[in-house]
Amino acid sequence: MPRIVRTLPCLVAAATLALSPLSSLACTRVVYLGANDDVITARSMDWKQDVATNLYVLPRGIARTGEAGPNSIRWTAKYGSVVATGYDVSTTDGVNEKGLSAQLLWLVESQYPKFGKDSKPGLTIAAWAQYVLDNFATVAEAVSALEKEPFTVVTDNVPGEDRLTTLHLSMSDKTGDSAIVEYINGKQVIHHGKQYQVMTNSPTFDEQLALNAYWTQIGGTTFLPGTNRASDRFARASFYINAIPKSEDPVQALASVFGVIRNASVPFGITTPGQPNISSTRWRTVVDHKRMLYFFESALTPNTFWVDLNKVDFSAGAPVLRLDLGKDQRNTFSGEVSASFKAAPPFAFLGLKTAKTG
């Protein structure tokens, strides 16, 4: 049975990626709870090399499989979504038409249940976030389903490396509800509540909360840790996401949240030898849940641009659309870009080529 943790106040969140041929991945995710039911979720994507990210519009009605061989979970997308990919083989970040957002981040401590022919149906870790976006309208609805463990998360070695892909999942919605899902010692652990505003990487979320309690006692106006380590980014993001003004102007609130996620970013070009959870920030996304805007900011381009989900056709049978961000996400866009997407085939989620029976 999964372990579920619930509480009431505020904390922090971060983000990252799915299966990929690279070795260094980190990220930060935060949720802002503002005035007039304003909820904004931001994340950074930190990675050693080009993540080959593009944006996709995925309509309702797409039939999917867990890509884990014959014993794979199957579903049809109930909701459309706008997502950011990793290598066009995984959904690493996104928001659906109901305002539910999902992010994947690296967590080296992750250990998933064993998968075999007698297990619950398999779901490739590359489609974990997409499963949530396709099927649920709120965090509470997602948690209620996930605690029943309808699938087995299936991971494999990072291509070209002798180590497993290890991730945890964050979710947030229009109400400000939030959840962090981890697999520790093969068991699912869910932290559910509005207080879970921040997520980064190692250590496990329980330990991150304990470390952050120390910095909360000191007080952010007195001293905050300044390194690019995950626990330090967690402490800074936790302080700032609750210290910024609760502006009734959504544009000012958005600017404040961008400031927080930029503060938790790692300057471009920096990697830390021996610490694979620390790499350059490649890009950032921000979800304005109330106005249904999805912002994207590349470290290598001068402009922040956004998708207005109210302008997107998510109806079943509508074409899949792709916004080509280019190598290192260098293609430059400005303003609202929904009209710049082009029809494209849906990307294929990376999974197991054959069923594993262990």
Q: Which domains does the chain have, with CATH numbers?
A: 28-343 (3.60.60.10)
> The pTM is what?
0.86
What does 153-172 look like in DSSP terms, one character per residue? EE--BPTTSSSB--EEEEEE
Single-letter amino acid, residue 32:
Y
Average pLDDT over residues 206-223: 62
Q: How many CB atoms lie within 10 A of CB 83?
A: 24
**pLDDT at residue 208, as a whole number:** 72
296-329 pLDDT, tens digit each: 999 999 899 999 999 999 999 999 999 999 999 9
What is the C-alpha separation between 302 and 306, in angstroms, rounded? 14
119-156 pLDDT, tens digit each: 999 999 999 999 999 999 999 999 999 999 999 999 97
Please identify every residue annotated as catalytic: 27
